[in-house]
Amino acid sequence: MTATTTASPKGRRRDGPRRPGLGGASRRRSAGPLFVAPFMVLFLLLFLAPLGYAAYLSLFQERLIGGTAFVGLDNYTQALTDPQFLHGVGRVALFFVIQVPLMLLLALLFALALDSGLLRLARVIRLGIFVPYAVPSVVASLMWGYLYGPDFGPFAQIAQKLSLPVPDFLSEGWMLGSLANIVTWEFVGYNMIILYAALRTIPTELYEAAAMDGAGAWRIAWSIKLPALRPALLLTLLFSVIGSFQLFNEPKLLMNIAPDVITSSYTANLYAYTLAFTGQQVNYAATVSFLLGLVIVIASYAVLLTANRRRTP
């Protein structure tokens, strides 16, 4: 995947026409691999090797009694019909569909508001929205877990004071929403910064020209800013696909305070963790992780494809 920030619909070719008659061509060709070698070595060791090892592991089954046996694709056929895995994937997909649009919309609104220059204390606000991202998700989950508390949490306390029914944020029906709230709180600022940075790169001449043509602030936002934001929005969307499907920290921590709602297979990632460290089924965990990776690749690709298709009518 390559990122180019120039939004040319046809995609500009990077390599220009070959310049003929340069004597150093062959020497250059032999020096090239040397320059990329450090990257390739790291890429191989840190990225491909673990991936390959996981793929290798997923073809075996190790049992507490009887040792390790080669089982081929058995783990994969098992996972594809494993309700715990499928429910986990389904749940994060639902989470993605609900949480991500909300979060990106909020991020977009904040970014536009900050970019408009109409806000007082813009820097303070910008920092304020971004700060939750600096809070480790573990801390954030613990904090929200406390806020959600049904007896002594502040929301419950206020509800009790006003003699209103106490909302049970940690119940089965609310849980996904409670998780979405934590994740949104954490990542709105992060996405806002990306969008805001993209807004700052738009040449001001465009605004001036639009103003000359009689466009108001809303019109400028709709017709200039939003189209220019498309690449950045797509980027945040892709990050969100990956983040949502890998949902782990937040449910893992809320599990301590709501063990009857968040099961060990609540999300697919949590399931892989449980398999490896609770059930000692390392091989099956590798299979589940691999399949989850595949799901993420497909989902990312689908997002890209729909976005690109919409661009070229």
Site string (8-37) toward another protein, x via CB under 8 A: x--x---------------------x----
As measured in angstroms, the least distance from the Cβ of 284 to another protein is: 10
Could you tell me which of 240, 195, 239 has the C-alpha nearest to residue 221? 195
Q: Which is nearer to another protein, 2 or 201 (CB)?
A: 2
Residue 6 touches another protein, criterion: CB under 8 A: yes
Residue 145 touches another protein, criterion: CB under 8 A: yes
Q: Which is nearer to another protein, 129 or 296 (CB)?
A: 296
Options 209, 256, 298, 302; binder of another protein; rule CB under 8 A: 256
Residue 306 touches another protein, criterion: CB under 8 A: no
Whether 78 contacts 271, CB under 8 Å: no
The number of angstroms, rounded, from the C-alpha of 88 to the middle of its chain's C-alpha atoms is 17
For CA atoms 205, 210, 213, 215, give the dihedral sign.
negative
Judged by CB under 8 A, the chain residues 91 through 110 that form the site for another protein are none
Residue 304 touches another protein, criterion: CB under 8 A: yes
Residue 136 touches another protein, criterion: CB under 8 A: no
Residues 6+ apart with CB under 8 A from 2: none
DSSP state for residue 119 in the 8-state scheme = -
Options 42, 44, 73, 294; binder of another protein; rule CB under 8 A: 44
As measured in angstroms, the least distance from the Cβ of 88 to another protein is: 14
Neighbours of 119 (CB within 10 A): 14
Q: Which is nearer to another protein, 50 or 101 (CB)?
A: 50
Q: Which is nearer to another protein, 69 or 124 (CB)?
A: 69
Residue with tokens 């073809």: 59
As measured in angstroms, the least distance from the Cβ of 16 to another protein is: 15
> What type of residue sits at position 67?
G
Residue 223 touches another protein, criterion: CB under 8 A: no
Q: Which is nearer to another protein, 153 or 243 (CB)?
A: 153
Judged by CB under 8 A, the chain residues 55 through 74 that form the site for another protein are 55-57, 63-68
Backbone angles phi, psi at 19, to 5 degrees: -90, 115
Environment class of residue 241 by beta-carbon count within 10 Å: exposed (0-12), middle (13-18) or buried (19+)? buried
Options 213, 260, 310, 312; binder of another protein; rule CB under 8 A: 260
Residue 140 CA to residue 130 CA, distance in Å, equals 13
Whether 261 contacts 172, CB under 8 Å: yes
> What type of residue sits at position 51?
L
As measured in angstroms, the least distance from the Cβ of 140 to another protein is: 15
Could you tell me which of 70, 58, 63 has the C-alpha nearest to residue 280? 63
Is residue 72 left, alpha or beta, with left meaning phi > 0 and alpha meaning psi from -120 to 50? left
As measured in angstroms, the least distance from the Cβ of 125 to another protein is: 29
Residue 220 CA to residue 203 CA, distance in Å, equals 13
Options 146, 177, 200, 302; binder of another protein; rule CB under 8 A: 146
Residues of this chain that interact with another protein (CB under 8 A) are: 1-8, 11, 33, 40, 43-45, 48-53, 55-57, 63-68, 145-146, 149-153, 231, 234-235, 238, 256-260, 263-264, 274, 277-280, 301, 304, 307-308
